[in-house]
């Protein structure tokens, strides 16, 4: 998977590639999809949600340019796979999920595989002020805007990555840097994520 679908495209960061090689994606998908776990596709994980496509996980992780020890907030835990990649790279990870059953499953899965991740059941549009500020914030669901709470919870020189809905339909990856006093936006790949929803389930 890593050689053909990730290095074969444009992801070069060896720390990302090493993490993607070491985390067993098949343990993050429902049993009936085990066979498809290493195909470059999103897969259903229940509750009408998906585990993201491996290339997108790799691309977003590379764009974070995170260093070990940094504090990161993920919005949209889903299966917990992205969190596991970040934890493997030495980041301190807090991850928010609005669907309680998914949050619980991801928390149990990550714990049983010994990934050190704090999974929080809550609406990630508000971020997680209790642990703020963060060096990095990664949103893994499509948002129509950059939430003010994310900007507030980003440390100076911190970076946010979010698939933002664009006028033409679909989304585009936005990297937003907190350069104090202002923010700098840089646009990357077009992409397709499930929508960020309001409130909790
Ligand atoms: N990162 C995940 C894939 C995320 S799919 C993985 O590696 O498997 C997007 C997830 O975001 C879904 O699980 C969805 O329930 C969750 N989500 C949607 N809106 C949310 C919100 N407002 N707050 C937190 N999580 C949300």
Whole-number percent of the chain with pLDDT over 90: 94
Number of Cβ within a 10 Å radius of residue 71: 18
Q: State the Cα–Cα distance between residues 99 and 40, nearest whole angstrom.
A: 25
Query: Does residue 147's CB lie within 6 angstroms of at least one atom of ligand 1?
Result: no
Which protein residue's CA is at the shortest distance from atom 17 of ligand 1?
76
| Predicted structure pTM score | 0.97
Query: Does residue 95's CB lie within 6 angstroms of at least one atom of ligand 1?
Result: no
Q: Tell me: domain 2-191, CATH 3.40.50.150, correct?
A: yes
Query: Does residue 49's CB lie within 6 angstroms of at least one atom of ligand 1?
Result: yes
Query: How much is the pLDDT for 7?
Result: 86
Which of 77, 93, 105 maximizes ligand 1 atoms within 8 Å of its Cβ, making it the mutation to test the pocket?
A: 77
169, pLDDT greater than 90:
no
CA-based nearest residue to 173, from 164, 185, 182: 164
């Amino acid at each position: 998977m890593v050689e053909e679908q990730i290095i074969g495209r444009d992801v070069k960061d060896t720390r990302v590639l090493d993490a993607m090689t070491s985390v067993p994606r098949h343990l993050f998908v429902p049993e009936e999809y085990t066979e498809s776990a290493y195909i470059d596709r999103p897969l259903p994980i229940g509750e009408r949600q998906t585990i993201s496509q491996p290339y997108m996980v790799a691309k977003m992780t590379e764009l974070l340019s995170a260093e070990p020890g940094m504090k990161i907030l993920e919005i949209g835990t889903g299966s917990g796979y992205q969190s596991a990649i970040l934890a493997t790279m030495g980041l301190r990870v807090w991850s928010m999920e609005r669907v309680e059953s998914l949050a619980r499953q991801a928390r149990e899965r990550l714990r049983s595989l010994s990934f050190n991740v704090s999974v929080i059941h809550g609406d990630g549009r508000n971020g997680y002020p209790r642990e703020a500020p963060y060096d990095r914030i990664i949103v893994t669901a499509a948002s129509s805007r950059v939430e003010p709470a994310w900007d507030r919870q980003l440390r100076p020189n911190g970076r946010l990555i979010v698939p933002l809905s664009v006028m033409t339909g679909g989304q585009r990856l936005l990297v937003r840097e907190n350069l104090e006093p202002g923010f700098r936006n840089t646009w990357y790949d077009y992409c397709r994520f499930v929508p960020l929803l309001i409130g909790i389930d």
